[in-house]
Amino acid sequence: MKAAAFKVRGAQVLVGDALNPAAVAQAAQGVEHIVSLVAVRRNRPQSYLAVNVDGARIVGEAAKAAGVKSVIFVSAIGARLDAHYKYLTSRWMGEQELAKTGVAGTILRFSFVLAEEGGVVTDFERAANFGPFLIIPGNGQTQLQPILREDAARCVVETMDHPELLGKIIELGGPEVVTYEQMFDWFIQARGIKKRKLKLPVALLLPGATVMETLLKDPVVTPDEINTIQLPNVADGIDSVSSHYGWRPTAPSSWAPVHWKKPTR
């Protein structure tokens, strides 16, 4: 269905494996810019190394061979080499692999990207369906700068027309800095959830999360997610989008209460 939706908009759709060098090389032929969105947030069923790291190298090599003008590589704020944060380390390693190919590129590191489904909404749904309380890892006061999916997509597209951004790492977020608990509250209120919130120390949650990750195909949370949510996730400035692109993104605080309501069937 997704492919059909793109075709209606006039896009040429090529179906293939983003981790297959031959398939990616074919897709790179005859294009000016490549946007790389391929990544996984958990280490299985596909691994961080295969997707977040090798995938970046594959797209970079294909782009270089095809003479593509630039690769716009979508990454995450906080990407770093640190064994305590496996996902963020994999994103940093992917950035490095892309750079090694020598292709011209821009790395866009986003804060939380919000949509009607997927991403953090899935995380919140898992938490809401687990047990009698809504568990918040830590104190819930980690600062975040969420941006709406449509605004993030606009940044990606407009980057193609900003050659001055080539070779740079740009951190992007929405027009508000909020806490993890505030963002969770948007979800709770939109869904009308009545469960009480319970804040628990990270050290208390990690053993159980480790067991769930080992035994369950789709655990409520992973140890890496618990650790990562304790890190500030804000861009270089509150005006990061307007300073680079000249427009102000939508405030998630006014968007989420409407768009996170439970879908009607």
Write out pLDDT tens, residues 129-171.
999 999 999 999 999 999 999 999 999 999 999 999 999 999 9
> pLDDT at position 160, please?
96
Question: 110 to each of 75, 95, 218, 239, 261, how far by Cα in Å?
Answer: 6, 14, 25, 13, 24
Which bin fits 251, alpha (ψ -120 to 50), beta or left (φ > 0)? Answer: beta
Q: How far apart are the first and last CA of the chain?
A: 19
Residues 13-42 have a mean pLDDT of 94
Alpha helices in 101-201 (DSSP H): 120-128, 149-159, 180-191
Task: Tell me the torsion sign for CA atoms 44, 45, 46, 47.
Answer: positive
Is 196's pLDDT higher than 70?
yes
Is 33's pLDDT higher than 70?
yes
What CA–CA distance (Å, rounded) separates 56 from 61? 9
In the block, tokens 């983003």 appear at: 18
Helix, strand or coil, per DSSP, at residue 55:
helix
> Strands 113-114 and 147-148, how do they pair?
parallel
Is 127's pLDDT higher than 90?
yes
**Is residue 72 very low, low, confident or very high in pLDDT (cuts 50, 70, 90)?**
very high
Helix, strand or coil, per DSSP, at residue 196:
strand
Peptide bond before 249: cis, by omega within 30 degrees of 0? Answer: no
What CA–CA distance (Å, rounded) separates 252 from 265? 25
Residues 174-183 have a mean pLDDT of 98
Amino acid letter for position 212: M
Is 8's pLDDT higher than 90?
no
Is 265's pLDDT higher than 70?
no
> pLDDT at position 264, please?
67
208-264 tens-digit pLDDT: 999 999 999 999 999 999 999 999 999 989 999 999 999 999 999 999 999 999 876
Q: What is the pTM of this model?
A: 0.94
